[in-house]
Amino acid sequence: MFTHVMIGSNDLERARDFYDATFAALGGKPGEMDARGRLIYVHEGGRLMITKPIDGNPATAANGGTIGIAAASPEHVLAWYKAGTTHGGTAIESPPSERPNGAFVAYLRDPDGNKLTARSQPTK
């Protein structure tokens, strides 16, 4: 359904540090800056793009919005969480844990306040 997810950042180098670390923890590659100054991550057919807002106003996080990131295993979720909290992310909600359906889930806010979750596939 989606071709990509685009989020705003007020500091692309800070965002790069955070997302390079969290995607490496999931087996992804570092982001690349395109000719328009957008930071782009491509992994298993999905694209996350990070940019300074084109209207010149500050980037703000979506209130009520969450970006879900697929992880191969609970160990990958934990590695993502550790990389995120080590590289400027903030732990939010409950600690990383298994849900009743067997999915293992963790939540963070990136350095710009965007809400993210990494989760493994349900086992039940």
Share of the chain above pLDDT 90, in %: 84
Instruction: Give the position of tokens 């992880």.
Output: 71
Helix (H) or strand (E) holding 86: helix 74-86
Q: Which residues are CB-neighbours of 54 under 8 A, at least 6 positions away?
A: none
| pTM flag (> 0.85) | yes
Residue-range domain boundaries for the chain: 5-120
Q: Are 46 and 69 in contact (CB under 8 A)?
A: no
CATH, domain range 5-120: 3.10.180.10
The more confidently predicted of residues 3 and 108 is: 108
Which tokens is 53 given? 């807002």
At residue 90 the predicted structure's pLDDT band, cuts being 50, 70 and 90, is very high
Q: What would the pLDDT profile of 13-58 be if each residue is shown by its tens digit?
A: 999 999 999 999 999 999 999 999 999 999 888 899 999 999 999 9
CA distances from 104 to 46, 77, 88, 120 (A): 20, 7, 22, 5
In the predicted structure, residue 124 carries a pLDDT above the cut 80 = no
